[in-house]
Amino acid sequence: MINKIVQTMADAMADIKDGSTVLVSGFGSVGQPNVLIDGLIEQGAKDLTIAANNAGSGHVGLARLMELGRVRRIICSFPRSSDPVVFETLYRAGKIELEIVPQGTLAERIRAAGAGVPAFFTATGVGTKMAVGKEHREINGRTYILEDALFGDLGLVEAWEADRWGNLTYKLAGRNFNPIVAMASKLTVVQTQHIRELGDIHPDHIVTPGIFVDRVLHVPYGDPGGF
Amino acid sequence: MINKIVQTMADAMADIKDGSTVLVSGFGSVGQPNVLIDGLIEQGAKDLTIAANNAGSGHVGLARLMELGRVRRIICSFPRSSDPVVFETLYRAGKIELEIVPQGTLAERIRAAGAGVPAFFTATGVGTKMAVGKEHREINGRTYILEDALFGDLGLVEAWEADRWGNLTYKLAGRNFNPIVAMASKLTVVQTQHIRELGDIHPDHIVTPGIFVDRVLHVPYGDPGGF
Amino acid sequence: MSATTAEFKPFSRVMMAQNVAADIPEGWYVNLGIGIPTAVADHVPLDREVIFHSENGVLGMGPAPEKDKIEPWLINAGKQYVTLRAGGSMCHHADSFAMIRGGHLDLCVLGAFQVADNGDIANWATSENDTAPAVGGAMDLAAGAKRLWVLMEHTAKDGSAKLVSKCTYPLTAMAAVKRVYTNLATVDVTERGFVVLNMAPGLTFENLQARTEAKLHLPA
Amino acid sequence: MSATTAEFKPFSRVMMAQNVAADIPEGWYVNLGIGIPTAVADHVPLDREVIFHSENGVLGMGPAPEKDKIEPWLINAGKQYVTLRAGGSMCHHADSFAMIRGGHLDLCVLGAFQVADNGDIANWATSENDTAPAVGGAMDLAAGAKRLWVLMEHTAKDGSAKLVSKCTYPLTAMAAVKRVYTNLATVDVTERGFVVLNMAPGLTFENLQARTEAKLHLPA
């Protein structure tokens, strides 16, 4: 019997290696796998590359992971947040590398990794600092730049519902990066609000099929808080 | 009030021009917009390029459109079918151009057109006839070829449910090419089994948001027949 | 800057939003940038159906919720709580940006630091050496939407011009802006450069030009 | 071809499918090609959960339906009616091929005209000038799955070898095949070339080699 549901955080975070690239979903605190981020802090892996839309806030979650010196590099579209003090301090001190990526390019690069597309052309960023050093090409009269796929060794996902095959649904804006992070990561770990019996989620309503999911941890924390 | 629901086939097929590229969804007869294909036959546009998984069967639908001499070129992955007599006759007589595309490359090229990606690299087809004349590139130790986006001037879609904003759902394997055809086409015309009131389809269950849909025709034909 | 002494009444923030809202026809799919542009939605009556998109996978946003009816799972790109209209739908981030990058949005309205009369826009960083510049979805929106309109003050707080002949700040996109709405005027970006469509009450063309670094034109 | 006179009992079609099925562990995501490979599913017991994928967006297929319980909206890539297991799900064609092309399938089993001992596979056309050759999803599956196994007769109907040192038919993919199951043997594709894992009862290695154009090896 396939059972991707794990019972402990230790099992959820087993075998995560130093030097991993970690794709972290979430937009603000909605659909952000906060409990798994805490689990990663606890687990101890270091020299990490984190790809996420934001670069953490306050002294918790991703910010805490950075504050502990565990993040070598962050790839994000918007390092500013309501309280980006940790990131900004590290960045000014030259203690963390930053790769700024337009949000749509970030999403498309992650999706490409999941879909077997190692590189693709896009119009976003042409004529800007983002295009410096990138291959340019005119296609049908418009200029595009080449962007490469962004793979995760580990992907952290928050779902609304999950079953033992790892099929997932999301709630409203909680979907955001989650489905593509699951596609693009070698090891996809999910925290889910609800566990469902196999077959209880309608086959037309499953958003992430279990093929993209490795481990599921039941974390019924309720609604997201502030941002 | 936005109302994409049209009342007649003439309205559904208005202003389709000679020389159009038409993306036609469906896999076998499941999720295939047969009534709209008949509408296109009736409408009269010619010199068409048709992109579809198959190249028609018997003397109806796409096969009929070809038999009438209205199709200059077909782009598909599998021109064979249970009864491909029309296509094969035209092809042997040199009266129709054929572009064979691996099925996944076909799907990805259509999706790329909808997503603003004019070209992308793929491993599919490397070392085969499909790669002849295409740009090759080694990325991270593997060889890929460059494929371009496949845009539709017109996209023909079959949905299970639709509302007046053009939001769509599909039934089981009836989904297939439909969502990406809707994304990739300048004019997306839908035949739907069911019309729903706005708001009756749960926002998490809408598969094709109305932004990708232009016209909806109510065609409650029931279940698909043979293939 | 003697022209500043002339008597005229700039458009208020509300009027600026109203000016944009008045030009959005029913049926358009529209993304409103974070900041002032977000307020445009408040001035589009619900019975003129305009479908508002947010980068985080929300299509069909309605007005802000009443405080006791907040849905914690429904926010916009500015991380404000929003509502969803009947007919609204959710999608994931790559699909949401496919809408943007695939040219499916009829309109995007962004704020900006500078707009050049060739349509270049700079709205994400005010220095090449900005500490941790944050671009978000601005470059995708600017490059991807069918039309890009900018909504901003006509001049910066220090009085410097924001409608310029060449952007000095790092670009967001090249030749992307189609129209600019400011507190002083509405200006189209055309092949001739900036063409003034209307001005704040009492403002003269000369007075507007005095506050604008790029050359302004009157409609042909 | 004097070797053909030796006494041995080739694997039947059913046994060939059983041979493949026996090697698929629980939890694998598997795509079975049209034709003989489809029958493999019948030999994987339902309580050994293997998740079968079909190119047309079906994940988690179960056994063929009883005739009075056909769901007309549920077919596989071979356009046969199928069932969906509890836990099955649907997706669109680009997402379905993302599973294939993104390396998410543990295994694909295809039929073939020829397999070379470097793993090249030819399974879609038997001539460079084929009338309207039909490739379907074969190239995606061959290039994309983590493992490609081939299930086919050991020789063609005319007696010619199908395990060859170089494919003469148009390729489907290069260096893709990991293992071949035939009616005569199971053969791994390794850096040394073809390595014979097992043979039909009564068949000798020499006899198998006589039916194989490429050089065969015994396990090291």
A51-64, pLDDT tens digit by residue? 999 988 899 999 99
- Cβ C162 vs Cβ C155: under 8 Å: yes
For A24, A53, C89, the CA distances from A182, given in Å and listed in that order, are: 10, 15, 21
The answer to whether residue C55 scores a pLDDT higher than 60 is yes
Question: What distance in Å separates the CA atoms of residue D134 and residue B81, rounded to the nearest whole number?
Answer: 9
Q: Which chains have 3+ CB pairs within 8 A of D?
A: A, B
Which CATH number does the domain A5-218 belong to among 3.40.605.10, 3.40.50.720, 3.40.1080.10, 3.40.50.11720?
3.40.1080.10
Q: Do at least 3 CB pairs under 8 Å connect A with B?
A: yes
Q: What is the pLDDT at residue A216?
A: 98
Does the distance separating the beta carbons of D79 and B127 come in below 8 Å? no
Mean pLDDT in residue range D112-136: 88
Chain C residues close to A91, C-beta within 8 Å:
131-132
Question: What distance in Å separates the CA atoms of residue D79 and residue B27, rounded to the nearest whole number?
Answer: 8
Mean pLDDT in residue range D94-120: 98
- Nearest beta carbon to residue B198 from set C86, C99, C104: C86
- The token pair at C40 is 């445009």
Residue in B with minimal Cα distance to D125: B129
Does residue A117 sit at the B interface (CB-CB below 8 Å)?
A: yes
Mean pLDDT in residue range D169-179: 97
Chain B residues close to C142, C-beta within 8 Å:
none
The answer to whether residue D188 scores a pLDDT higher than 90 is yes
Q: Do at least 3 CB pairs under 8 Å connect D with C?
A: no
Name the A residues in 83-102 with CB < 8 Å from any C CB.
84, 87-88, 91-92, 98, 100-102
Query: What is the CA C100 to chain-centroid distance, rounded?
Result: 15
| Mean pLDDT taken over chain D | 94
Q: Report percent pLDDT > 90 for chain B.
A: 92
Does the distance separating the beta carbons of B115 and C97 come in below 8 Å? yes
> How near does any CA of chain D get to the CA of A205, in Å?
8
- Nearest beta carbon to residue A120 from set B117, B170, B204: B117
B91 by DSSP, 3-state: which? helix
Chain B residues close to D144, C-beta within 8 Å:
104, 123-124
Does the distance separating the beta carbons of D102 and A114 come in below 8 Å? yes
Q: What is the pLDDT at residue C1?
A: 43
Does residue A207 sit at the C interface (CB-CB below 8 Å)?
A: yes
Chain A residues close to D26, C-beta within 8 Å:
1-2
Locus of tokens 């309605």: C62
DSSP-assigned letter for residue C12: P
Question: What distance in Å separates the CA atoms of residue D208 and residue D200, rounded to the nearest whole number?
Answer: 9
- Nearest beta carbon to residue B175 from set D71, D72, D91: D91
- Active-site residue, C71 included: no
| Mean pLDDT taken over chain C | 94
Q: What phi and psi, each to the nearest 5 degrees, are found at residue B91?
A: -65, -45
Residue in C with minimal Cα distance to B167: C87
DSSP-assigned letter for residue C141: H
Does residue B117 sit at the C interface (CB-CB below 8 Å)?
A: yes
Q: Which chains have 3+ CB pairs within 8 A of C?
A: A, B
The answer to whether residue A111 scores a pLDDT higher than 70 is yes
- Cβ C218 vs Cβ C196: under 8 Å: yes
Say how many CB pairs under 8 Å bridge B and C. 64
Q: Which amino acid is at A20?
A: S
- The token pair at A42 is 């606890």
Mean pLDDT in residue range C185-201: 97
Residue in A with minimal Cα distance to D45: A1
Q: What is the pLDDT at residue D128?
A: 66
Per-domain boundaries in chain B: 5-218
Does residue B173 sit at the A interface (CB-CB below 8 Å)?
A: no
Looking at C7, C26, C49, C55, which residue is catalytic? C55
Chain A residues close to D91, C-beta within 8 Å:
209
pLDDT class of C135 with cuts at 50, 70, 90: very high
Does the distance separating the beta carbons of D26 and A1 come in below 8 Å? yes
Q: What is the pLDDT at residue D126?
A: 86
Q: Helices B103-115 & D93-101, crossing angle to 10 degrees?
A: 120
Chain B residues close to C87, C-beta within 8 Å:
163-165, 167, 198-199, 210
Q: What share of chain C is helix, strand, coil (3-state, %, to 5)?
A: 20, 30, 50
Q: What is the pLDDT at residue D130?
A: 63
The domains of chain D, with CATH numbers, are 13-217 (3.40.1080.10)
Q: Which chains have 3+ CB pairs within 8 A of B?
A: A, C, D
- The token pair at A164 is 């033992």
The residues with which A185 forms a beta bridge, in sequence order, are A152
Does residue A185 sit at the D interface (CB-CB below 8 Å)?
A: no
Chain C residues close to A126, C-beta within 8 Å:
143, 173-174
Question: What distance in Å separates the CA atoms of residue B207 and residue D94, rounded to the nearest whole number?
Answer: 13
| CB proximity list for A46: less than 8 A, separation 6 or greater | A18, A69, A70
Question: What distance in Å separates the CA atoms of residue D198 and residue A99, rounded to the nearest whole number?
Answer: 53
Residue C18 is inside which H or E element, if any?
Answer: helix C13-22
Tens digits of residue pLDDT in A65-87: 999 999 999 999 998 877 889 99
Question: What distance in Å separates the CA atoms of residue B151 and residue B22, rounded to the nearest whole number?
Answer: 9
Question: What distance in Å separates the CA atoms of residue D60 and residue D83, rounded to the nearest whole number?
Answer: 9
| CB proximity list for C52: less than 8 A, separation 6 or greater | C30, C31, C32, C41, C59, C60, C61
Mean pLDDT in residue range A9-25: 98
Q: What phi and psi, each to the nearest 5 degrees, are found at residue B197?
A: -65, 150
The residues with which B50 forms a beta bridge, in sequence order, are B22, B74
Say how many CB pairs under 8 Å bridge A and B. 61
Does the distance separating the beta carbons of A204 and B172 come in below 8 Å? yes
- The token pair at A94 is 């030259």
Region for D31 from its dihedrals, namely left if φ exceeds 0, alpha if ψ lies in -120 to 50, beta otherwise: beta
- Cβ B186 vs Cβ B213: under 8 Å: no
The answer to whether residue D1 scores a pLDDT higher than 50 is no
Does the distance separating the beta carbons of D140 and B124 come in below 8 Å? yes
Question: What distance in Å separates the CA atoms of residue C61 and residue C87, rounded to the nearest whole number?
Answer: 9
Q: What is the pLDDT at residue B40?
A: 98
Question: What distance in Å separates the CA atoms of residue D47 and residue D65, rounded to the nearest whole number?
Answer: 18
The answer to whether residue C71 scores a pLDDT higher than 80 is yes
Mean pLDDT in residue range B3-28: 97
Tens digits of residue pLDDT in B42-82: 999 999 999 999 988 899 999 999 999 999 999 999 988 77
Does the distance separating the beta carbons of B210 and C97 come in below 8 Å? no
Question: What distance in Å separates the CA atoms of residue C177 and residue C190, rounded to the nearest whole number?
Answer: 10
Question: What distance in Å separates the CA atoms of residue C144 and residue A70, rounded to the nearest whole number?
Answer: 36
Q: What is the pLDDT at residue C220?
A: 85
Residue C15 is inside which H or E element, if any?
Answer: helix C13-22
Mean pLDDT in residue range C8-24: 97
> How near does any CA of chain B get to the CA of A119, in Å?
6
Query: What is the CA C85 to chain-centroid distance, rounded?
Result: 23
Does residue A196 sit at the D interface (CB-CB below 8 Å)?
A: no
Q: Which amino acid is at A65?
A: L
Does the distance separating the beta carbons of B91 and D170 come in below 8 Å? no
Looking at D55, D66, D128, D191, which residue is catalytic? D55
Does the distance separating the beta carbons of C89 and B203 come in below 8 Å? yes
Three-state SS sequence of chain D: CHHHHCCCCCCCHHHHHHHHHHCCCCCCEEEECCCHHHHHHHHCCCCCCCEEEECCCEEEEECCCCHHHCCCCCECCCCCECEEEEEEEECCHHHHHHHHHCCCCCEEEECCCEEECCCCEECCCCCCCCCCCCCCCHHHHHHHCCCEEEECCCECCCCCECEECCCCCCCCECCCEEEEECCCEEEEEECCEEEEEEECCCCCHHHHHHCCCCCEECCC
Chain D residues close to A163, C-beta within 8 Å:
87
Q: Concatenated DSSP letters for B13-66?
A: TTTPPTT-EEEE--BTTBT--HHHHHHHHHH---SEEEE-SB---TTSHHHHHH
What are the E-state strand segments in C56-211?
Answer: 58-62, 83-90, 107-110, 114-116, 121-122, 148-151, 163-164, 177-181, 185-190, 193-199
Question: What distance in Å separates the CA atoms of residue D110 and residue D142, rounded to the nearest whole number?
Answer: 8
Locus of tokens 């590139």: B137
Report the sign of the C-alpha dihedral through residues B51, B54, B60, B64, in that order.
Answer: positive
Tens digits of residue pLDDT in D73-87: 999 999 999 999 999
| CB proximity list for D160: less than 8 A, separation 6 or greater | none
Tally of CA atoms within 13 A in the half-sphere of B191 that contains its CB: 24
Three-state SS sequence of chain A: CCCCEECCHHHHCCCCCCCCEEEECCECCECCCHHHHHHHHHHCCCCEEEECCECCCCCCHHHHHHHCCCEEEEEECECCCCCCHHHHHHHHCCCCEEEECCHHHHHHHHHHHHHCCCEEEECCCCCCHHHCCCCEEEECCEEEEEEECCCEEEEEEEEEEECCCCCEECCHHHCCCHHHHHHHEEEEEEEEEEECCCCCCCCCCCCECHHHCCEEEECCCCCCCCC
- The token pair at D85 is 């297991």
Buried/exposed C140-170: b ≥16 CB within 10 Å, e otherwise: bbbbbbeebbbbbbbbeeeeeebbbeebebb
Question: What distance in Å separates the CA atoms of residue D178 and residue A181, rounded to the nearest whole number?
Answer: 29
Does residue B206 sit at the D interface (CB-CB below 8 Å)?
A: no
The residues with which C148 forms a beta bridge, in sequence order, are C108, C177
> How near does any CA of chain A get to the CA of D215, in Å?
34
Q: Residue D62, Cβ neighbours under 10 Å: how many? A: 16
pLDDT class of C94 with cuts at 50, 70, 90: very high
Residue in B with minimal Cα distance to D59: B173
| Mean pLDDT taken over chain A | 96
- Nearest beta carbon to residue D59 from set A116, A163, A209: A209
Terminal Cα distance for chain B, rounded? 39
Q: What is the pLDDT at residue A219?
A: 97
Q: Residue D131, Cβ neighbours under 10 Å: how many? A: 12
Locus of tokens 């449910």: B161
Q: What is the pLDDT at residue D106?
A: 98
Does the distance separating the beta carbons of A108 and B144 come in below 8 Å? no
Does the distance separating the beta carbons of D102 and A211 come in below 8 Å? no
Q: Which chains have 3+ CB pairs within 8 A of A?
A: B, C, D
Residue in C with minimal Cα distance to B114: C102
Q: What is the pLDDT at residue A203?
A: 98
Question: What distance in Å separates the CA atoms of residue D183 and residue D156, rounded to the nearest whole number?
Answer: 11
Tens digits of residue pLDDT in B170-197: 999 999 999 999 999 999 999 999 999 9
- Cβ D19 vs Cβ D180: under 8 Å: no
Chain A residues close to C172, C-beta within 8 Å:
128
